[in-house]
Amino acid sequence: MTSARVAAIPGDGIGTEVMDSAKAVLARLLPLTGDNIAWTDLDWSCERYLTEGALMPDDGLGLLREHDAVLLGAVGWPGVPDHVSLWGLLIPIRRMFQQYVNLRPVRVMEGVPSPLRPDLAEGVDLLIVRENSEGEYSEIGGRFGAGTPVESAFQQSVFTRTGVERIARFAAERAERRRGRIVAATKSNGIIHTMPFWDEVVAETTAHYSVETTFEHIDALAAKLVLHPARYDVVLGSNLFGDILSDLAAGVCGSIGIAPSANVDPTGTYPSMFEPVHGSAPDIAGRGIANPVGMLWSTVMMLEHLGAARAAGLLMEAIAETLRDPATRTADIGGTADTAAVTDAVISHVTRSA
Ligand code: ATP
Ligand code: MG
């Protein structure tokens, strides 16, 4: 990357605070590595929804389409139902831009208190690859027989060969650049149509790569991710299983305030979207105390995606340095620093090591 166009959607609550942090860091970092971002600032938020009746304008997706990436803070506010932010913004973006991969790197970072025993937390570094476009989250189904003794509801999962192959290829490519191991979540003993198909297509597809693929049932895998998380490298899950495992793994690592995520179109046809895992956190919004690390780590993922490898590496190292120092940790991870102090610390590590 030398120059990229990025749409910034700070959103609501602490989304705007952590976005300010990311932009302040990039303003100092990118000149050092010869990169440049042209920002488009978008006020798409629940506030906009409450005053104008929509989170984004009618031509919102067309506007985003002209960018190389989207950086998002958090969208959501008390009084605005969750489905408004989901269906009014996040799902249209994911679908229109074919972001069929959801990525969640999980690392136990030095200085971040983890609920795990120290010997178990040692060396945890895994990547959760979640299928983001099909599977269990379909709209096919319905409710029948209301008010009768046979009242029932059905929901149809949809697994396509194309959909499973492309997520398996993505996981295999990532695993080749890491430690070469994929564990795919399954439940083929209980879910007897879609899961055996998932297993078959994942095994066939990943066989073409220099990786070792094994399958573990989702129930056992959930337990083992808590008991021996350091054994895992790439964890591949369907839409539902990947969703659950992502939060489980983030919980194992300590704070939601440090967890990053990406919704990616690996073909590069459309912009990919990068956002911290946390929400708008109304309980601490406006106080300047939000942990910006989840956002900054998401920014690292964006820089990697845009091909700014050196800037990404410098920023990740600066984040790790900042977390190592107790004086530059926020309250959610046991410190007393505010957002601005953490931001300044990251900037000073970045400028010192560049
Ligand atoms: P969602 O918008 O996804 O529904 P939520 O309401 O479930 O999110 P969050 O908004 O992420 O959850 O907040 C959950 C808790 O974690 C809150 O107590 C919040 O203050 C805390 N929290 C979340 N993000 C951060 C952060 N970056 N720094 C400090 N605390 C945070
Ligand atoms: Mg919320």
Residues 343 and 280 in one domain: yes
Residue 120: give the domain boundaries: 114-253
Nearest CA to ligand 1 atom 7: 279
Closest atom of ligand 1 relative to the 276 alpha carbon:
27
pLDDT on residue 66: 97
What is the tens place of the pLDDT at every residue in 27-73?
A: 999 999 999 999 999 999 999 999 999 999 999 999 999 999 999 99
Question: Is position 175 within any domain?
Answer: yes
Point out which residues pair with 275 in neighbouring strands. 261
Q: Which ligand lies nearest the alpha carbon of 72?
A: 1
- Determine whether 119 is an active site residue: no
Task: Say yes or no: 235 and 314 in one domain.
Answer: no
Q: Is 243 a catalytic residue?
A: yes
Please count the structural domains in the chain: 2
Domain boundary among 253, 286, 305: 253
Give yes or no: 247 in active site. Answer: yes
List, for residues 202-244, the tens digit of each pLDDT value: 999 999 999 999 999 999 999 999 999 999 999 999 999 999 9
- Check if 134 has its Cβ closer than 6 Å to any atom of ligand 1: no
Could you tell me what percent of the chain has a pLDDT over 70?
Answer: 100
Which single residue is written with the structure tokens 């046991």?
A: 334
Give the residue-averaged pLDDT of 239-254: 89
Query: Which CATH number do you get for residue 206?
Result: 3.40.718.10
User: Closest residue (by CA) to atom 17 of ligand 1?
Assistant: 281
Catalytic residue among 35, 187, 232, 332: 187
pLDDT tens readout for residues 266-292: 999 999 999 999 999 999 999 999 999
Average pLDDT over residues 182-200: 97
Q: 281 C-alpha to center of ligand 2: Å?
A: 6
Atom of ligand 1 nearest to the CA of 281: 10
Instruction: Supply the ipTM of this predicted assembly.
Output: 0.94
Residues 40 and 170 in one domain: no
For ligand 1, atom 15, the nearest C-alpha belongs to 281
Q: In this structure, which residue's CA is closest to atom 20 in ligand 1?
A: 281
Give the pLDDT score at 1.
Answer: 65
pLDDT tier for residue 257 given thresholds of 50, 70 and 90: very high
Mean pLDDT of 110-129: 90
Domain boundary at 206, 228, 253, which?
Answer: 253
Residue 121 has what pLDDT?
Answer: 87
The predicted model gives 334-349 an average pLDDT of 97
Looking at the structure, do residues 146 and 226 belong to the same domain, yes or no?
A: yes
Burial class of 40 by CB neighbour count within 10 A (0 to 12, 13 to 18, 19+): middle
Q: Is 298 in the pocket of ligand 1 (CB under 6 A)?
A: no
CA distances in angstroms from 29 to 24, 26, 324, listed in the order given? 9, 5, 20
Task: Let me know if residue 108 belongs to a domain.
Answer: no
| 146 and 79 inside one domain | no
Mutation test of ligand 1: which of 256, 258, 333 has the most ligand atoms closer than 8 Å to its C-beta? 256
The rounded percent of the chain whose pLDDT value lies above 90 is 89
The alpha carbon of 75 and the centre of ligand 1 are apart by a number of angstroms equal to 11
278 lines ligand 1 (CB under 6 A): yes
Q: How far is the CA of 282 from the centre of ligand 1 (A)?
A: 8
Domain boundary among the residues 224, 253, 282 is at 253
Are residues 131 and 228 located together in one domain of the fold?
yes
In a domain, 324, yes or no: yes
From 278, 323, 333, mutation site for ligand 1 pocket: most ligand atoms within 8 A of C-beta: 278
Evaluate whether residue 43 is within a structural domain.
yes
CB distance 321 to 349 below 8 Å:
yes
Residue identifier of the C-alpha nearest atom 19 of ligand 1: 281
- pLDDT value of residue 139: 87
pLDDT, averaged across the chain: 95
Q: 59 in ligand 1 pocket by Cβ < 6 Å?
A: no
